[in-house]
A = this chain, B = another copy of it.
């Protein structure tokens, strides 16, 4: 069955999924990189960005599974880039270079229309200006029965979560403390929405949790 899922999403001990003040140099906000220290040394990440081996084990198993090709992805505009407001030009093509790691259609939620961008490796960025439901409909159609990954950021996940549209979440609880930023679950009653934790796998560095919606 086609699932709407979140993978490899890291939060701090105090519950933040991103820091404050995103900039070009600091795409996950202040101290946001601390959330991903478990991810960077993994073989999956090292092979992807540097073509060299990295660490194997539990963290790598999750990292790898969380990057498996999905049928389609959805992300918020701030995850796509640091540009705010109208697009000044077509220069910004995402953080990931010419061959982004998605390899499928990616639907970017935005209020500012823009023509699709076809990248290398099967990724095409589509800009959706008519809301989360429209984006999900388009993603479902494009995914052709495969899973749809809601990549982030925090605000995008929260919007889908509040309507219980996410079937499964892999949330990584890290040892980072952010103090401020974007809180993933604040004000969202996961129990009432029907979510429960069905798996906890500690790795030594972090705790991997799988949260699913009751069917």
Task: Tell me if A's interface is mostly helix, strand, loop or mixed.
Answer: loop
Copies in the complex: 2
Tell me the smallest distance from the CB of A103 to a CB of chain B, in Å: 30
Would you call A68 an interface residue if the criterion is a C-beta within 8 Å of the partner chain's C-beta atoms?
Answer: no
Residues of B within 8 A of A93 (CB): none
Choose from B177, B203, B207 the contact partner of A196 (Cβ within 8 Å). B177
Residues of chain B within 8 A of A196, CB atoms compared: 177
Q: Is the CB of A171 within 8 A of B209?
A: no
Say yes or no: is A80 at the interface (Cβ < 8 Å to chain B): no
Number of interface residues of A (CB under 8 A): 33
Chain B residues positioned under 8 Å from A206 (CB to CB) = 200, 207
Residues of B within 8 A of A173 (CB): 13, 173, 207
In the assembled complex, which residues on chain B have CB atoms less than 8 Å from the CB atom of A33?
none
Selected from B171, B180, B189, B203, the residue in CB contact (under 8 A) with A13 is: B171
**Closest 4 A/B residue pairs (Cβ):** A202-B202, A179-B191, A179-B189, A207-B207
